[in-house]
Structure 1
Amino acid sequence: MALPPPASPPAPPRIFAPARRIAARRRMLASQRAADAPRYLIDDMVEDVIERIAFLRLEPRRALIVGDWTGALAATLAARGCAVEQAEPAHGFAEELPFAFEGFELVASLGTLDTVNDLPGALIHLRHALAPGGLLIASFMGAGSLPVLRTAMLAADSDRPAPRVHPQVDVRAGGQLLQRTGFADPVIDSRPLDAAFGSLDRLVADLRAQGLANVLADPGPPLGKAALARARAAFAQAGENGRTVERFEILTLSGWKR
């Protein structure tokens, strides 16, 4: 008797809406045309990747950079003689599908993996893009980010909280993901970046301008006037002297392809 075919693996949960994700990144790119647009998060990630490469004395001849819309990391590597390919989700690059290129000695993914539905699948495709001995460095918003905003949204929704802030990966889960997807010598760390804001509206504007708007498949209903007033009040009460400090936790995963 013929055996039945093996069952297909279950599809990943649909947490994020790909179309909303692309739209958010396109709005970000449009916002970043302004000279005074906030870009402190991507600047921090780029600086960190450059420091890690220098510490490891890595001199890649070919590199793939995903998500660095500033071009700063590509320019730094190109000045050292590295051939660089750049990819951007806003322009149709999909981390959850097999890539059309491979053989890179360095792959850097900046600020995009926190909004993919199939994070293990995306990491597998990134590993396949590496040459043997190649290094992945992936940075994105991790667990512990935006605690004041989360509290403000809970105050806004009162006893009926709605999904408004993205779920996030912590250090332990990041390590498990790298091991599960076949990376050797994984290193996982998280570092805080604090910024002060004069209002909740200023924080939300900064998030949108840096591609961190809500892209959940089920984003919840819009806040009404009363709920928005509660959120603004909770945000202001968390600060002092008219300024509220919000925290961003930048999670970085790195591992080698053997």
Structure 2
Amino acid sequence: MHPHDASHHDQAEILDLDAEVLADHLAAITAWLPIDTPPRRIVDLGSGTGAGTFALLTRFPEAHVLAVDSSPEHLHRLREKAGTREVTTIQADLDTGWPDLGTPDLVWASASLHHMADPGRVLREVRDILAPGGLFAVVELAGFPRFLPEYAPEDRPGLEERCHAAGARFHAEHVPHRGADWGPKLTAAGFVIEGERTLTVNIDGSGDEAVGRYALGSLRRLRGSVAGVLAPDDLAALDRLLDSGGPHSILRRDDLTVRTERTVWAARPKG
């Protein structure tokens, strides 16, 4: 496996774990969507390995979902999980071109818009393809989830928050739209906001093997953006947590929680 492939594989694992660990919260979001007539055609922009795709199909089992992502591995995983369900995949980089997505009744974009080079253009594209009365749902996480208690690790208390502070500086430069308020951006693109909701996530992960793996994968990805700026003692402590076979591995802890927030905006084109 080439390094690039390994990176996509690791990300795919985290996306699958995110879908598993946060399934109830995702279901709460799809249940909240202001929809009276079940959509027949749904587009999932930046679908990843299918967390949103399958949550939407659970709520709207008669729908057909068009899952769009730039990663062939993510889409391969999604197709494997889809089975006989009504899913079509399209590999596309939305920063370089816009595929034919038909006229969907619902467009879903979860944790994907902040990766776009020009999200304003993407919002306008969505506005133009939505069927009359169609809905656009934008879901964003408030940064990476937190997992460790404040006193952990015992030799470097507060390590996770220092890692996130360093990561925030990195992402402010490289992913400037992360953490944006999408309400004004949607309004500027010609939408009317029909609802906005923030869900607080606080999941007890004690004894939950999936939460341990989710924490391990998430902190490994965070390490990649902060290794050059963390204090040496902090980096060493982080590496001890990430050593899955070591005595201080995060997988051995029984005090993990998953803490984050998800905000969803529901909007329709004006007129």
TM-score of the aligned structures, taking structure 1 as reference length:
0.63
Deviation at 1:118, TM superposition (A): 2.8
Aligned to 2:192: 184
Provide closer, same or farther for how the CA distance between residues 58 and 207 of structure 1 changes in structure 2, counting only shifts above 3 A.
farther
Deviation at 1:94, TM superposition (A): 2.7
Aligned to 1:128: 128
Deviation at 1:190, TM superposition (A): 1.4
For the residue of structure 2 that corresponds to 1:65, the secondary structure is: strand
- Match runs of 1:232-247 below 5 Å: 243-247=255-259
CA RMSD of aligned residues (A): 4.6
Which gives a bigger RCO, structure 1 or 2 (Cα 8 Å, sep 6+)?
1
Deviation at 1:196, TM superposition (A): 4.2
Provide closer, same or farther for how the CA distance between residues 143 and 156 of structure 1 changes in structure 2, counting only shifts above 3 A.
closer
Aligned to 1:13: none
Deviation at 1:28, TM superposition (A): 3.1
For the residue of structure 1 that corresponds to 2:10, the secondary structure is: helix
Deviation at 1:108, TM superposition (A): 1.3
TM-score of the aligned structures, taking structure 2 as reference length:
0.60
Which of residues 40, 51, 59 is equivalent to 1:61?
40
Provide closer, same or farther for how the CA distance between residues 246 and 101 of structure 1 changes in structure 2, counting only shifts above 3 A.
closer
User: Which amino acid counterpart does residue 54 of structure 2 have in structure 1?
Assistant: A
Aligned to 1:227: 234
Contact kept? 2:198, 2:261, Cα under 8 Å? yes
Q: What are structure 1's unaligned runs of at least 5 residues? A: 1-19
Contact kept? 2:108, 2:137, Cα under 8 Å? yes
Deviation at 1:244, TM superposition (A): 4.4
For the residue of structure 2 that corresponds to 1:133, the secondary structure is: coil
Question: Which has the higher mean CA deviation after the structures are superposed, 148-157 or 23-32?
Answer: 148-157
* Distance (whole Å) between structure 1 residues aligned to residue 8 and residue 25 of structure 2: 17
Which of residues 165, 183, 194 is equivalent to 2:202?
194
Aligned to 2:71: 90
Which of residues 55, 64, 69 is equivalent to 1:73?
55
Provide closer, same or farther for how the CA distance between residues 129 and 215 of structure 1 changes in structure 2, counting only shifts above 3 A.
farther
Which of residues 27, 52, 56 is equivalent to 1:47?
27
Percent of pairs identical after alignment? Answer: 14
Contact kept? 2:137, 2:267, Cα under 8 Å? yes
Which of residues 206, 209, 214 is equivalent to 1:206?
214
Q: What are structure 2's unaligned runs of at least 5 residues? A: 73-90, 151-157, 173-177, 241-247
Which of residues 260, 264, 267 is equivalent to 1:248?
260
Higher normalized helix content (fraction of residues): 2
Aligned to 1:14: none
Pairs aligned (count): 222
Residue by residue over 1:133-189, the C-alpha shift from the partner in whole angstroms, topping out at 9 and shown as x without a partner, is 21011212126954979952564699xx5657745425xx22111111111234222
